[in-house]
Structure 1
Amino acid sequence: MASPENTGQTWHMKITSVFWSRLREHPLARVGPGLITGVADDDPSGIATYSQAGAQFGLNMLWTMPLTFPLMAAIQSMCARIGRVTGKGLAANIKLAFPPSILRGVVALLLVANILNIGSDVAAMGEVAELVIGINRHAMTIFFVIATLLLQVFVPYHRYVVFLKWLTLSLLAYAAVLFTMHVPWGEVGLKTIWPNLSFSSDAAAVVTGVFGTTISPYLFFWQASEEVEDMERKWGGVALKKDSPSANAELRRIRWDTWSGMFYSNITAYFIILATAMTLNVAGITQINTAAEAASALKPLAGDFAFLLFAMGILGVGLIGVPVLAGSGAYALSEAMGWREGLELKPADARGFYSVIAISVLAGMIIQYSPVSPMRALFWSAVINGVVAVPLMAVVILLASSKSVMGDLTAPRSVIILGWIATAIMGMAAICMLLPG
């Protein structure tokens, strides 16, 4: 006869098994890497940029989201395709197809930019948590850092990713904010298509910031590597180049997953610009430095509920954005160095990979205790991303269109054309960002 203790353990195991089974069976759990990649793009740093666009220029910056959507989706779909077709991450493919100096330069700049971005993200999360629950921001930052590290290092990714996918629902908070205020939808639609925007250095800076935070290098590496993770778990590590019967269905899945994930990301950014335009800009508040400032400024204008929704959205996407930033750098460096990598591996089996994650997150946390302000860290992160993005996008397009890399599964011509348009626009944005004044 089983003891009460053993009976309790058996029931606990059954309940746990049913819990994970139900989570995995939910439609949200079957969505691919595109959703998480898209939501990670709306991290606290991105929210600060979109909030500044809405606060400074009102409805006249809404046009940037319809424009960036197809460009961002085209680049990300190529990254996903590269990972699934070749069975290797983006850095591993660059290593095979380009000189070592290109890979080393890109990975080094990516790591620096990611650490600076993590620093600004975790600082914003600590500030928002202090606003919501009153606990010291530094203590809350440490809590978020430890929580994300423990999850990434000690929880297998196929379980951890379920929580990330549920956290993507936090972006709906920004749509909900709009229900707390009156929105003149006719004017919104008109300004989206035909903005009343005169060219100036301030406008160019904000447009550059919006493009830079929407099309970011760390997302390229993350999505390609997560397609590889999914391939190894679901398909036994067989790349599409070696499994042509599965190619059409898998490429359709990638196309739907990526374009829907990027649409979710961009429509949310659109809502953030709209919400801050209808509140902060109307009230004459035109300067926002952090996402926490935007949430705090909303409180007296739109009420406690709008403030809480906005704040919870920041925390939710921060818990996705920080692991993606740290993970993308770890994948890139591990592939460049030939280390074992993957969030399904145990720490002892991928020491270098997990060390990069830990160092990135901890270094980002230390920024808030250093003389470097989180906003200064964000600025330099944007500059580095702007420098890296343009040549990296060109490399992605060349890889995705190369038969020697992709076999017969190269990217469609329409996607390639959109990719080159995106690269040209990002190039102009980078030039604007680097020009003095």
Structure 2
Amino acid sequence: MAFFSNGTPRRIATVPVSTDATTAVLDSAHVGDIVGALGTIRQHDTDQGRSRGQRLRMLLAVLGPGLIVMVGDNDAGGIATYAQAGQNYGMALMWTLVLLIPVLYVNQEMVVRLGAVAGVGHARLIFARFGRFWGAFSVGDLFIVNALTIVTEFIGVSMALGYFGLPKWVSVPVAAVLLFAVVAGGSFRRWERLVFTLIAINILMFPLAFLVHPSVSATVGGLLPSFPGGLDSTLLLIIVAIVGTTVAPWQLFFQQSNIVDKRITPRWIRYERVDLWVGIVVVMIGAVAIMATAAFGLGPAERGAFADAGTVAHGLSAHLGTTVGAIFAILLLDASLIGANAVGLATTYTLGDTLGKRHSLHWKMSEAPAFYAGYALLLAAAAAVSFSPDHVLGLLTQGVQALAGVLLPSATVFLVLLCNDRAVLGPWVNTTRQNIVAGVIVWALVLLSLALTAATFFPHLSTATLELGFGVGAAIGLLGGIALTVTRQRGVRRGTEQTAAELGGLDPDQVEELEATPRSRRERRAILAADRDLWRTPALETLTRPNFSPVRTAGMIALRGYLALAVVLVVIKIVQQIGG
């Protein structure tokens, strides 16, 4: 059943699955043909028997959610953070970007599976599987950080257009109207084509990086981990900000909902993974280019004196000419528009999941008034806040990214729990290897925020002490991971093939037939893979909610309490910087 904003249920068309239960999909706009910017795939099409050229056209049709979420990641806050890292530390922090590549892929690949298999947004799954308390915990932080993030996008717009002499009172309202117009057409394909047009402007990254004459040796040297000037709270804050702007919680909610909205189903997960890798390559090239621009394009006098992205544009203009400054300003404007669009949609998608309202770009404004009204109000509020004093807004940009980095562990914990929920993902649940990598990521993020907390409380801690703390924390994480793995392995095991067949939706008779019929290993894998591609999450209300053990509940509450403290400390650090 699909429930709309007027409360009237309506039967929807569903993808054929191997059970009679209805799927978890709630909005009829989320079922049908994949209608992308670069092509269309019919609802029941497959890539079986297709030529290489036909598969490439299918990939182009799927292309979108992964690319958009990654490019949206290099938003105004991202450009400001990378520029600050380059201006203050040269290329010495480029190694953090390299370490974030697996984090980006692992986190976003999990939401790819959740979106394609479940057919509902991230917030909807959290509320359905963990209840209102944990659902409110998850989306509450998201709404606040997302709203502040959109403020930074309007800051970016005003700085970029201010470079060309356009006053804020003109640039910000015009940008808000433009952003709403991009979304409000009632056509997913039209929206995606407009966003792709904005993404194409990122090609200017290449001439920008070339014009600042980067040093190859200094750039390559940035791949070696180092802590320029010593590991203190200021350096940790910029590292946490890089993490927060590169791997932000809103990305999880946006990509899953956008995959659902684009109607991508399990059979196209392989293609969406390629889309994700394309986006990761683009975001990494952009991040390195911006860092290098500030590192090599500004003079020694600006070293360590970062103010904001607008100042960087003027500094580049003074040192290398107006062309370089103009290109940087154009990229800042483009990044701000893409970021505001993606973060705004992540928020309104989540709001629709939370309130049970229609939330799809396939609906027109008259058909989904709550969805578009929420988007408009969010833009209006963020635009109004962006008129705050400039010295506050400059540090707010970095602070928002740091807050996102601090809150990321909790978002990742919910993501991992959902990806181990067999009732939701069936044969698509995490493998042991995926859980190990995800666990390492979560613990590393927790250690990073712990280090920031310690450095803020005790500003005179030495680099050696903090490094020792990282080492002890890593050892604790390793021992805890081994203990969890051993405990997990003691569970009752079923035959891998039989379990996969049952989870794939085959009934007991089909399982028995599959095992009794002589087939090669390749044939059996093909049968299971074909059934896996059709498996969809049953209606969520028909599933038994998982129980939290006392240990897991205590751990989640402890994590929540610590993250609340870490957020307060980030705010304290930002206030200290505002006060000099």
Counterpart of 2:231 in structure 1 is 199
How much does 1:351 deviate? 2.1
**After superposition, what is the alpha-carbon deviation per residue over 1:159-198, rounded to whole angstroms, capped at 9, x for unaligned?**
1111211211222322321211322213321331354633
How much does 1:287 deviate? 2.6
Amino-acid identity (%): 23
How much does 1:344 deviate? 1.4
1:137 to 163, 168, 172: 168
How much does 1:258 deviate? 1.1
Distance in structure 1 (CA, Å) of the matches to 2:446 and 2:320: 38
Counterpart of 1:334 in structure 2 is 352
Counterpart of 1:268 in structure 2 is 286
1:350 to 352, 356, 368: 368
**After superposition, what is the alpha-carbon deviation per residue over 1:256-288, rounded to whole angstroms, capped at 9, x for unaligned?**
111221221122111211221112364433232
Q: How does 1:86-125 map to 2 (within 5 A)?
A: 86-125=118-157
Counterpart of 1:73 in structure 2 is 105
Runs of 5+ unmatched residues, structure 2: 1-34, 41-56, 460-580
Q: How does 1:242-253 map to 2 (within 5 A)?
A: 246=267, 250-253=268-271
Counterpart of 1:429 in structure 2 is 448
Secondary structure at 2:213's aligned position in 1? Answer: coil
Structure 1 pair 78–281 and aligned structure 2 pair: CA distance change class (3 A)? farther
Matched, 1:220 2:252: yes
Question: Looking at CA atoms only, which structure, 1 or 2, has the larger radius of gyration?
Answer: 2
Aligned residues: 403
Q: How does 1:3-42 map to 2 (within 5 A)?
A: 24=39, 31-42=63-74
Structure 1 pair 289–102 and aligned structure 2 pair: CA distance change class (3 A)? farther
Counterpart of 2:481 in structure 1 is none
1:64 to 90, 93, 96: 96
For 1:294, give the aligned amino acid.
V
Matched, 1:401 2:420: yes
How much does 1:339 deviate? 1.3
**After superposition, what is the alpha-carbon deviation per residue over 1:24-60, rounded to whole angstroms, capped at 9, x for unaligned?**
5998665221000001000011110111011111121
Runs of 5+ unmatched residues, structure 1: 1-19, 241-245
Which moves more between the two structures, 165-174 or 208-217?
Answer: 165-174
How much does 1:304 deviate? 1.8
2:404 to 385, 388, 391: 385
Contact 1:58 1:277 in 2 (8 A): yes
Matched, 1:419 2:423: no
Which moves more between the two structures, 341-350 or 408-417?
Answer: 408-417
Distance in structure 1 (CA, Å) of the matches to 2:36 and 2:405: 42
How much does 1:352 deviate? 2.0
For 2:147, give the aligned amino acid.
I
**After superposition, what is the alpha-carbon deviation per residue over 1:11-34, rounded to whole angstroms, capped at 9, x for unaligned?**
xxxxxxxxx999659986652210
For 2:316, give the aligned amino acid.
L
Structure 1 pair 32–269 and aligned structure 2 pair: CA distance change class (3 A)? same
Counterpart of 2:318 in structure 1 is 300
**After superposition, what is the alpha-carbon deviation per residue over 1:63-82, rounded to whole angstroms, capped at 9, x for unaligned?**
11111111112101111211
Q: What RMSD in Å do the two structures reach over aligned CA positions?
A: 2.4
Please identify which structure carries the higher helix content: 1
Compute the TM-score of the two structures, normalised by the length of structure 1: 0.86
Structure 1 pair 274–379 and aligned structure 2 pair: CA distance change class (3 A)? closer
For 1:35, give the aligned amino acid.
L
**After superposition, what is the alpha-carbon deviation per residue over 1:378-424, rounded to whole angstroms, capped at 9, x for unaligned?**
35533542443211101101112321210101234444333222222
Structure 1 pair 87–30 and aligned structure 2 pair: CA distance change class (3 A)? closer
Counterpart of 2:75 in structure 1 is 43
Structure 1 pair 22–51 and aligned structure 2 pair: CA distance change class (3 A)? closer
Contact 1:59 1:195 in 2 (8 A): no
Matched, 1:181 2:225: no
Contact 2:91 2:219 in 1 (8 A): yes
Distance in structure 2 (CA, Å) of the matches to 1:29 and 1:251: 13
Distance in structure 2 (CA, Å) of the matches to 1:34 and 1:21: 13
Distance in structure 1 (CA, Å) of the matches to 2:335 and 2:254: 16
Counterpart of 1:319 in structure 2 is 337
Matched, 1:363 2:395: no
Contact 2:83 2:312 in 1 (8 A): yes
2:190 to 142, 159, 169: 159
Higher RCO (CA < 8 A, seq sep 6+): 1
Structure 1 pair 359–433 and aligned structure 2 pair: CA distance change class (3 A)? farther
Counterpart of 1:127 in structure 2 is 159
For 1:146, give the aligned amino acid.
V
Which moves more between the two structures, 277-286 or 418-427?
Answer: 277-286
**After superposition, what is the alpha-carbon deviation per residue over 1:332-371, rounded to whole angstroms, capped at 9, x for unaligned?**
1211121111111112222222222111111100102346
For 2:175, give the aligned amino acid.
F
Distance in structure 2 (CA, Å) of the matches to 1:289 and 1:102: 38
**After superposition, what is the alpha-carbon deviation per residue over 1:80-128, rounded to whole angstroms, capped at 9, x for unaligned?**
2110111111111111211211111221221111111111211221221
Structure 1 pair 55–420 and aligned structure 2 pair: CA distance change class (3 A)? same
Structure 1 pair 114–21 and aligned structure 2 pair: CA distance change class (3 A)? closer
**After superposition, what is the alpha-carbon deviation per residue over 1:201-222, rounded to whole angstroms, capped at 9, x for unaligned?**
2221211111111111111100
For 1:255, give the aligned amino acid.
R
Distance in structure 2 (CA, Å) of the matches to 1:152 and 1:159: 9
Contact 2:75 2:153 in 1 (8 A): yes
Structure 1 pair 384–205 and aligned structure 2 pair: CA distance change class (3 A)? closer
For 1:328, give the aligned amino acid.
A
For 1:208, give the aligned amino acid.
V
Contact 2:160 2:333 in 1 (8 A): yes
Secondary structure at 1:45's aligned position in 2? Answer: helix
Contact 1:330 1:356 in 2 (8 A): yes
Counterpart of 2:179 in structure 1 is 148
Compute the TM-score of the two structures, normalised by the length of structure 2: 0.65
Contact 1:41 1:321 in 2 (8 A): yes
Distance in structure 2 (CA, Å) of the matches to 1:428 and 1:175: 35
Counterpart of 1:5 in structure 2 is none
Distance in structure 1 (CA, Å) of the matches to 2:327 and 2:308: 16
